[in-house]
Each structure stands twice: as structure tokens, then as C-alpha cells.
Structure 1
Amino acid sequence: MSLPENKRLPRWRRRCLRITAALALGGAALTGAAPAGAQPAPAGAQPAPAASAPAAPRPLSETLTGEAKAEYEAARILFNDGDYRNAIIKFERAYELSRDPRLLWNIALCQKNLKRYTRLLATIEQLLRDAGPQLTEQDRKDAAELIEATKAYVSRLDLQASEAGATVLVDGEEVGQTPLREPVLLDIGTRKIRVTKRGFKDVEVSEQVAGGGVVTVKATLEREVHQGRLIVAAPPDAVISLDGRVVGRGTWEGPVPSGGHALRVTASGMASHQSEVMIHDDQTRRVQISLQPLPKDSNLESWIWIGGGVVALTGVVLLSLGAFDGDAPVSGNTSPGSVALSARGGGATFVIPFGGGR
């Protein structure tokens, strides 16, 4: 008795049952095998010539040999255990070794159970290309109906990218480069789409795919800028230099390329600060600088600049060493190019030649 119309199996389910049957028969259902429920010929009827009835194809378990057969048997065990991901690997290896297109039905069934509808479509399309005369008209019809039914569970990606040559990934798997030259299909559910290109920031979005339509994604890639931000806080009168260039006084803030930088902070009467500051991409770093007073030298009296040279006078030390012993010049008749200096300690007069001295 047939089910009421609203309880009939959907077309998608009927197609999958055909694939399940193919797997259960060891892949023997690809060509026109005789139906299991065929009635015997009536009594007295002449049997048809043997050539008119095509022989049922031998199942994969009998036609495959060697490593291909071992991979196939391992795949069936994994499938029966519900391990469809690894069953696919074994079925694909068996197909690679044997090139028997019946294995593609089994791969398609694993993909259906994993809800990998886009891959299922690709597998069925490969089956139609590779099977050739091994497919009956009914096989091709079933495959076409399966493809049509599966389209309700996928959507086409319409990617509008600002840069050509960017790599496109869906759920971490590369599907092409911009502009996409082949249609990219997305499985129903939440999909992560990433567009990446060297020298640009990645664009990544999550899209809820309803199936049976088009998903539009706009990817505007921005160039990468390898820089951070540096803030230097120093005393108000301090001069701030970065990499040998004066950038401010007191407090300075600004963008800085990523990497190491030489920071120098100076102020009158204070010991200078010098250090290396490391800046990372998109980092904001704050550096607080405190300067310390220079130590005082009690023996230093003064600095005298003479004609581009500097003479340091330390009167007490010079006198004690007798560095200027000798005759005093005639009063009022000093030689050209000399300067008379009086030492405070002992009343002596010193003459330091310079310029055009003798």
C-alpha cells in the first residue's frame, strides 16, 4: 500500500537510497543488473537467448585486486562503523589504483553523510565524465536528479574583492584566487570565508548559508602598515630625539615604524638618557623618562675659549707644579700673540702665547 502523498519519500531521499543500494551490493548497481524481484518465466515459454539478457556485473569485491581491493575492503569496514571521513580516504585510494568509477558512488554517499554537499556534486559530475559506457540511461538520469536535488543544499559564492591575485579560502580550504574564474559553491550552514594577499590585511567573514541561492561577499583589502605608536614623557625642558632626529620637547607622541629605535633625551645640567625602544605592529608604547643632575666637579674653576681652542685653568694645581716658573715679562711690553693672566694664589703673572706667537 502506498503512503499518502504528503508522506512520500522526497526525491533527495530516493536518490540516496539508490546510492546506499549500490554500496550494499559492493558497487554492482552501476550497470543494468536484473531486478531482485523478477518473476520466473511462465511454464512452456521459450527461454530468451542468453545473448539478449546482459550479464549482471561482478561486484567490486570480486573485480578489484591487490592493494585496490584491500583499500576498498578497509573502506567498507570504516563506512559500516560510521567513520565516513576515513572511509572516503580509503575509497579514494582504491579509485586511484583501479580507476573503477563505481567507487565514486561510494565516495558520494560518504560525502552526503558528512553533509559535504558541494563535494558530492563534484563527485557525481566526475562520475558522469569518467564512467562513460558503464552508465545506463537510468544511471545518468539518477545522477542528474541527484545533482538537481543537492542544489537546494548549496549556494553560490559571489565574491567582490578589491585586489586581484588574492587567495580565497572557505573553512580553511583554498578554493581559488581573485577574480574567481570557476563557480565556488558553499555548503548549507555557517561558513568562514577568508581572503588573503601578501602585503595586505586579511579579510575574514562568517556567512550563514541557507542553500539554493547566492551569497555575496565584499572584500576590501587594506595594505599592511608595520608600525606602532610611541609616547615619550620627559621633563618639560628636555629635548627628545629618536634615531638621531629631534622630534619634540617635554612630551612627544607619534607613529613609529615597527622595530628597534634609539631614544635620547637631554636637558641642560642633566645627565642624558639613551636607550633602545622596541615597537611592534599596532602597539602603543609609553616611555617615562626622569633625568638626573650632572655631578659637580669641585676642582673645575673655569673654561676659557681662545681662538677655537680651550684652555682649562686650575690655578692651585698649576702653581704647585711650578709649570710657569721663569722671568716675568717687561711691564707694558708684552710680545704680540700673548695674553697676561694673573694667578690669584701667589701674585705671579703668566703669559700664554697664542695666535702668532714666537
Structure 2
Amino acid sequence: MRPIHSITLVGWAIASGLIDFGAWAAPPAPPGKAVQAGVSGDEAEARAQFQAGVAHFKKQEYPEALEAFRRSLWLKKNRNTMGNIALCLKQIGQYDEALEQYEEMLREYPKLPPKVEALVAAEMAELSGLVGTLAVTGDAPAGAMLFIDNRLRGKLPLEKPLRVSAGSRAVRVEKEGFAPLGMTVDVKAGMESVAELVATSRKGRLVVSERHNWVLRVELDGKDVGVTPWQGLVEAGQHEVRLHGFMRVEALAACEAPGVAAEEGAKVASGVEVASVTLYEETRVVLGAEEQDASLRVDSTLEGTTVRIDARVVGRAPWEGRLPLGEHVVEVSADGFFPAKQVVQLERRKQRELSVSLERQPDLVAEARAARSRKIGVGLAYGVGVAGLGVFAVAGGLALDKVHDLNARCPNKHCPSTEAGNQRAAAALGTAATVGLVVGGLGAAVGTGVLLVTRPGGSERRLGPSVSAGVGLGSFEVKGRF
């Protein structure tokens, strides 16, 4: 509906007693003069603002008139002033507020003169045809401020659809810490319109702190995002949060809250908690971190040995440090010794001490030397044995031939003097064969004894029996030591 022309409106307002130039009994005091008796300073100022509003209204300066009437009403509540505010709001197209102003006036002054009451009812009926209602849905965050055409209309959620003037309306929702939401809605008179807001950035605020106020690293969905206390905008949905870091041992013992994150010390961490972040809402997560390290001391029977823990070199024995709770493999090693491994289970607030003994490795050089000596000794012994048996075979054969010849030439074993040389040769060959047999047997026996008594990995001093043999003309001597 088209607004009433200003001259007609002023005439109607004066006739109805809304704009009443005689509503105030006395004019305001001139500048520099004292306010006349019986009129307070606020009342005089209210009268002056009222008259200023009337002057602006007559000039069709409706925004200025509205401001002056509002100042007057703030200083002194007056029925006429409230009606004049409603008239100004109607003239500038804020029909919803004009209707609300009339409603407030009726609540404050329920008994109006009949003529005024009828005119106000007619105005309200006209204004009702110029407004619609607006509901706000969608991604509308609770507690956000709702603005319609840059005018604050309250907080979300609305108790009921909001009455607004018909036409194209700019809807904006603002919540501290988040990006504003906005859209334009075409409001139809006498109907309910819906502003369904859609957030382009679907995020909420996550606030993470540690129960003891420790400053620890914040791990969000497996990524380091900062230190506690931490807050930031994250995508709406579920997120895994974990705290980890270090606490100096002295601060941990005194339960102190450090000002900055420690780079070394006792390892502390929290469990993983799943935080459900809601769009445009703040989600708080408080995690309690616990000590994750225990103290371990590693000693060895040999100082300076290398200490490895979980296959990583950590130092030399004696070694002491802190490790995460749970099972660890400790290995101690040194040149010339067999490495020693041991599994330890570390528990919270318990110190473990580990003593490791090392066993010396055999001397590989001496072992090789002994192996060579064993081979040489066995070879010599069997060689001598073979040579002795060869002498036995050759000398024995020749001795048998000589004996057969002598038996043929010496009946009844009585040989003439001419056979004395042959007899001596036969005896010498027999002696040589015997010596060869004995030497061959001893060589084989000594070689076999060396193989049976000596062991791989031993040294030359670990060889078994010691045997020596001597051979002379017509004699044989064997000496041994076990």
C-alpha cells in the first residue's frame, strides 16, 4: 500500500491528537535561561525534542523526525510521542516496526479516546497488510545475531517467525569467531517466508586443553597443529585428538605447569579422544596426559661396550636413560665377545637395572693356526706310516728271497763260510722290514690319534698325546706322553 501523503498524515495526526502541539503545557526555556518552575530539565528537553520532531515531520524529513521523537520518548514516556514514532516508521517503509510501535503503545495505554483508538486500529489493519513473517532455518548457528536489512532483530534461534516488511530483505547472521552467513529473501505480505541459510565453510571451533594445564603438542587427526591450550576452526564432524610431548622431570615431580613446551625430559602423552564438532558451534576437549617413560640402567661386565635398544645405538655401558613404557630389546656387544640380548618390560614410575655378562669369542687366528698344525701333523704321521710300510714291504720281500736262497744252499741250516755275507744281508733286510713295519704302524696310529683327540676350535696346546720315534741300525725306540 502506498504511504499516506505527509500533509494529509499531519492533518490526520493533529486531528487524532497524536501530533499535539499543545501536548506540552509550557514552551521550552530560551537558551541560557533557567527552566521555569514546575518543569524538570528532562521534561523540558523532552518537549524540545518533540517539537523538533514535529518540525522535521512537517518538512517530510522523516528519518530526522523519527530520531527526535525517539530522543523525546527516552527522556519522558508519552502516548503522543509513541504514536508519532509509528507514523515516521510507516513513512520510511519500516511497516513491521510501525506495527510493533502501535502494539507497544496499546500495551502502555490500553484506554485511548474512542476516536484515537479507531484511527490506531485502522492504521494497524493497513500495516498488517504490508508485512509478512520470516523463519530462519538451515545452517543457522545458535546464539548468532540476526540482521534484517542491516538492522539487528535478535538472536537465533527465533522463538517464532519474525514479522518483517514485505519486499526484498537482506538476511545476515553473525557469530563471533565464524564467517557470517547471508542471503536475500523475497518476503510476501501476509505470508511466511523462509531464509534457509547454507554455510559455504562448514566448520566449527575446537578448543583443546590439558587437564593439568601442561603445555603439550596437539595432534589432530594425526597432524601436529600446535600446543595446548589450542583452538581453531575445523571441519564439522568427528576428529581424533591426542596430546604428547615432554615434561622436565623436576616439573613432573612437583606437578608444575610449565609456560612453554619442553623439548626433552620425561615423555608424556594422552589417549586418543574422538571429538564431534558441530557446524558453527564450539566443542571443548580436555585430555589428561600421563607419564609414558620409565628409567633404565644398563651395566656390563666389560666397560665401554656398545648398548643398543630396539636395534638403535644409544650409548656405551654403563648407560642410563628414559624409555617409553612397554617391551624393549636391549643388546650389549663388544669386539671379541658374543653379543648378549635381553628383553625388558618397563612399567610406569618404576626404574629397571639390567646387568649383562659377555662371553669371549674364540681366537680365530689361533684356531686357523691349530687347524693347519693338525693337518700337517696328521699328514706327516700318515706319511711316515706309509713310508714305513713301504720299507717293510720292500725289505721284507728281499729278506724272504735271501732266506730262500740260503735254505737252498745250506742243507740242515749249516752254511759254509762262503755264505756268511748272504746271511748278514738277509739279517739286515729282516731288520729293515721289521723297523718299517713298526714305523708304519706308529705313523698310522699317531695320525689317527691326532684326528680323534684334537677338536676344531682348539689351539695347538690342546693337541692330544705327544709321540716321538727313533730308529737306529738294528734298533727301534718309541717315546710317548699323554
TM range (shorter): 0.3 to 0.5
Greater fraction of residues in helix: 2
Q: What TM-score do the two structures reach when normalised by structure 2?
A: 0.35
The TM-score with structure 1 as length reference comes to 0.46
> Which of these two proteins has the greater Rg computed from alpha carbons?
2
Does 1 or 2 have the higher relative contact order (CA < 8 Å, sep 6+)? 1
